[in-house]
Structure 1
Amino acid sequence: MVPVSLIQKLQRAADLILQHPRAAVGALATSFLAVVLLSGVALERSKQSHDGDRPSLMELLQQLESDKDAKPAPAFQSQRAPVSRSWTSPLARQCTGIDQALRLRLDKLRRTGDSWRTKVPIHPTNYGKRFSEDTNGAPLDSSPRVVVMHETVYSLTSAINTFQTPHPRDEDQVSYHTLVGLDGKVVDVVHPLNRAYGAGNSAFLGEWAVTNPRLMGSLNNFALHVSLETPESGANDASQHTGYTSRQYDALAIVLSDWIKRFKLSPAAITTHRHVDLGGERSDPRSFNWASLQYRLAALGDLCVS
């Protein structure tokens, strides 16, 4: 409802317009101009108020400059392995006292490798590609730089059958790169550039690689694995057995010598499963004779290094 006083004022204004039409037009024009000016001022103030919520061009330039000077976010850090035992290699530097007859025999054996060395395919669940990144996205050096020696516990055939059996579960997957039989025959099952699953929770000199978020780290991503066939006396969990054959040591030395040369490995990087195992459950290769390996690698010229 319109108030009575307002109606009376409107009627009085209408009477004045009828009595003085020219003056009324001027007054109306002046009032209209005032309304326009007041509206413009209000609009400008409103615009300034809203503009205050947005950065100016100068502020944007200053922000870009500060962003340029800001330090980048740190990259993912590789997961560090637990502190491991130090490793002193039983292999000593040797440049003299070489058994020349042994050298000739090993050189001849190396030249006839096709007669005692074969390749056998295994199931693809038991080996894989080496990883270039860990589970955090940090880069990994996957180049082979440590050799881990194992033993089969049971026969060579039993080990190969295990490797040829599908193992969908990560926890069950197992393989070595190379196997050395009691008769000196060598079986290569995983290419050395690929990743064999020879050691579970393991590290060497404080280094491992975490490549599966559900499992502990291991050295498999940068390791080479070779396993000696265990004699019948070792098909148990005893701490010792009758040891390995002379033919096995001959073949093992040639396998290791080839890896040393191909991957520029230090002889000190040849270690045992027992040493790298972080769980303390492995003891292989049991009854290993380091002196037998020393003589052979020296004869092949691999221990005369600084």
Structure 2
Amino acid sequence: MRSVPRPLLVCISAAGLVLLGGLGWLARDMTPQTGERSANPSLLELLEEMRQPPASPEPGRRRAPGPPPHPSWQSPLRSSCAITDPGQAKKLQQLVGQVETSPVQVRIHPTNYGERFSLDAYGNPVDPTPQLVVLHETVYGIGSAINTFTTPHPRDEDQVSYHSLIGEDGAVVQVLDPAKRAFGAGNSAFNGRWVKTNAKVGGSVNNFALHISLETPLDGEDSDPSHSGYSAAQYDALAAQLASWMRRYGIPAENITTHRAVDLGGERADPRSFNWQALQQRLQNLGLLCRR
């Protein structure tokens, strides 16, 4: 039997000690530990982390960007406690009851609305309670709007919805439960506030807004800056629906705004030819503008 040269024997012994030490380190760090994790994670822990999907952002973990500069909303509705028409007040109260107890409802396709978020795209908590009402118009008939909402739209850019529609005859159609998030205003903000639910796109008011749309008169089915306006029955129904939401969610009158006002792209003009004085009179007679 040939003898092993002494220098080679020394090298083998040293390598064995290194290998044993490494195995000892691995065995020690792979052994389950109690209490807090050590400052030097084990190989097993690192492998486990690699297998896990990325964790959702923790609340407040990253700062959410605010909207770009945009004119603040100055409400045309004035504070007033005077009831100028008791007969109108009684009629409107009856309408409020009808809106709340026997509404006309339409079920729209799930692609056209979403859930309200309690966290934004950066992990920060946000209040999904409705705090804002945005007024719109349909441009085309109410039937066209309903057909759009009930049609599936897989592409994000085609998805749209409101919570309520008001026909020219004053009929109120509830399209979406207020607890859900309507896709009424894409790139939008209200008085410096929006919520980004997708970090890759702009923010919007949809997460804390309610959307209501008035059926446009026939002469308004175009892109002209104005039309003949909305009917008295529409203003009655609008006031009734607003009264229901304002009382239910504590929404102040100054948080009733327009699509034109919240749109950040400057592309929206609705609702055109809106008569704020007509709404002022009705909300005033309902006692909703008495701010002392």
What TM-score, normalized to structure 1? 0.74
Distance 2:86 2:195 in 1: 42
What residue is the counterpart of 1:185 in the other structure? 171
Once the two structures are TM-superposed, the CA of residue 121 in structure 1 deviates from its matched residue by 0.2
Distance 1:173 1:74 in 2: 30
Q: Does residue 1:194 correspond to 2:205, yes or no?
A: no
Residues 78 and 289, structure 2, Cα contact 8 Å, conserved in 1: yes
What residue is the counterpart of 1:212 in the other structure? 198
Q: Does residue 1:164 correspond to 2:163, yes or no?
A: no
Task: Report SS of the residue matched to 1:149.
Answer: strand
Once the two structures are TM-superposed, the CA of residue 207 in structure 1 deviates from its matched residue by 0.8
Tell me which of 256, 268, 271 is aligned to 1:285: 271
Residues 222-242 of structure 1 show CA distances to partners (whole Å, capped at 9, x for unaligned) of 100000000001000000000
Q: Does residue 1:250 correspond to 2:250, yes or no?
A: no
Q: Does residue 1:89 correspond to 2:65, yes or no?
A: no
Distance 1:149 1:171 in 2: 20
Distance 2:98 2:105 in 1: 15
Residues 96 and 243, structure 2, Cα contact 8 Å, conserved in 1: no
Letter in 2 for 1:274: R
Structure 1 residues 114 and 135: alpha-carbon distance in aligned structure 2, compared to 1, 3 A threshold: closer
Give the alignment of 1:222-237 within 5 angstroms.
222-237=208-223
Residues 177-209 of structure 1 show CA distances to partners (whole Å, capped at 9, x for unaligned) of 000000000101110011000001100011111
Residues 82 and 285, structure 2, Cα contact 8 Å, conserved in 1: no
Q: Does residue 1:79 correspond to 2:65, yes or no?
A: yes
Residues 174 and 197, structure 1, Cα contact 8 Å, conserved in 2: yes
Once the two structures are TM-superposed, the CA of residue 110 in structure 1 deviates from its matched residue by 2.9
Task: Report SS of the residue matched to 1:175.
Answer: coil
Tell me which of 134, 146, 153 is aligned to 2:120: 134
Distance 2:265 2:184 in 1: 14
What TM-score, normalized to structure 2? 0.78
Once the two structures are TM-superposed, the CA of residue 83 in structure 1 deviates from its matched residue by 1.9
What residue is the counterpart of 1:263 in the other structure? 249
Once the two structures are TM-superposed, the CA of residue 169 in structure 1 deviates from its matched residue by 1.1
What residue is the counterpart of 2:56 in the other structure? none
Distance 1:196 1:212 in 2: 16
Structure 1 residues 213 and 77: alpha-carbon distance in aligned structure 2, compared to 1, 3 A threshold: closer
What residue is the counterpart of 1:298 in the other structure? 284
Distance 2:74 2:144 in 1: 33
Task: Report SS of the residue matched to 2:133.
Answer: strand
Which aligned segments of 4 or more residues in structure 1 are displaced greater than 6 angstroms? none
Bigger radius of gyration: 1
Once the two structures are TM-superposed, the CA of residue 215 in structure 1 deviates from its matched residue by 2.4
Residues 139 and 215, structure 2, Cα contact 8 Å, conserved in 1: yes
Residues 60 and 123, structure 2, Cα contact 8 Å, conserved in 1: no
Structure 2: which 5+ runs fail to align?
1-20, 26-37, 39-58
**Percent pairwise identity:** 53
Count of aligned pairs: 243
